[in-house]
Structure 1
Amino acid sequence: MKKGIKYLSIFIIGIIAVVSLLYINDTIGTNKSDIEKDARSSQKIKDNWSVAKDTTDIMSAMIFYSDDFNDHTFSIYVNRPGFSFGYFFRLGGSIIEAEKYVAEIQIEGYNERAFVSMNEQKVNKIEIDDGNSVQTINIDTEKPFAVILSANAGNVTIYDIKGNIVESIKHRV
């Protein structure tokens, strides 16, 4: 009986050591369901701020904003390839491109790009032309948005409410 407890104790200590080592080595990230909570906590984002977000298996993009639309913070998380679990914070803060324009953010080594904006330009749709068909993503002109697309999705065209083309400002990180 004592041997069984001894081996069980060693096994439990070993599991705790392995999990701790993985966490310390930044191998365990944030669960998909907890990304928004993690961003609010780590970036000290107020609970009463709204969020526009999009999350895929590779990336999560969020733009948090005040009720009066006068302030914002964005967050980009990535799910690392290889031996890792969860999503990891990669980039965030406030940038003028997201406030006044559409910021297009691509993280080196990842095959997706995030489009985030406070939507001052009144974007109402994004069209993706892959050469065979055109996919349309409708955007609420009155709210900020975050959209993630594959880096090789095709030609991406962003339109405002008047049908004018809105250019994105590219950031490669």
Structure 2
Amino acid sequence: MKQSKILLAVVSICIISIFTFLIAWGNGSIGVSSNRIEEDARKSQKIDENWKVAKDVTDEMGILMFYDTNVDKQVFSVYTTGDPLTYGYIFKSGGTLGIEKSQIQGFSYEGKGMALVSMNGKGIEAIKVKKGTEVETIQVVPNEPFAVIIPTYVEEVVGLYNSKGESIAIDNIRVN
């Protein structure tokens, strides 16, 4: 009889723990999966469903830039992974970008990489990065807004280039 009461108590604690975890995970307080980042950002930052999004998600970070081509305003969201006691992606920062169409904004998160967002008024079409002696090219659609994550293995951003091969500078990098 005593053993069955102990077993019932252990099973009850396990069930309550699992139920609590599932509720916390379901409402995003533990983190969100990669396929729910956009939904979470739109909901938490009250972003209209009609706004377009440029986004990039890696195993370590997610960057989203929401925009409306009729309004000179953009909203960004940055999510990262790997925080203790969390699952999935956790919202790290976000807000309004007051960038002009031609500006390029960077966000650097130590150990997670660097994210770049732009309305791409300068016509960026390639981002060249270096790892060791190899130079890789990240393609961007010219004159289209973009959100790109520069992976953590990259040692150096060689440059951003337009269709004429001209090097374009990053206007601002926020270090977090």
TM-score of the two chains, using structure 1 as the length reference: 0.82
- How far is the alpha carbon of 1:20 from its aligned partner? 7.6
1:22-101 matches, within 5 Å, as 28-68=30-70, 70-97=72-99, 99-101=101-103
Matched residue of 1:47: which SS?
coil
Unaligned runs of 5+ in 1: none
TM-score of the two chains, using structure 2 as the length reference: 0.81
In the alignment, what sits opposite 1:172?
Answer: 175
Q: Percent identity?
A: 33
- 1:140-166 deviation line (CA, Å, top 9, x unaligned): 122110111124513321012322211
1:7-26 matches, within 5 Å, as 7=9, 8-17=11-20, 19=21
Residues 27 and 85, structure 1, Cα contact 8 Å, conserved in 2: no
- How far is the alpha carbon of 1:3 from its aligned partner? 6.0
- 1:107-140 deviation line (CA, Å, top 9, x unaligned): 2x43311011111211111111224222112211
In the alignment, what sits opposite 1:130?
Answer: 131
Amino acid at match of 2:174: H
1:44–1:150 CA distance, 2 compared to 1 (3 A): same
Amino acid at match of 1:47: E
For 2:79 and 2:175, how far apart are their aligned partners in 1? 14
Matched residue of 2:133: which SS?
coil
Relative to structure 2, which stretch is displaced further, 124-133 or 92-101? 92-101
Amino acid at match of 2:85: F
Superposition RMSD in Å: 2.9
Aligned pairs, how many? 169
For 2:100 and 2:60, how far apart are their aligned partners in 1? 21
Residues 27 and 83, structure 1, Cα contact 8 Å, conserved in 2: no
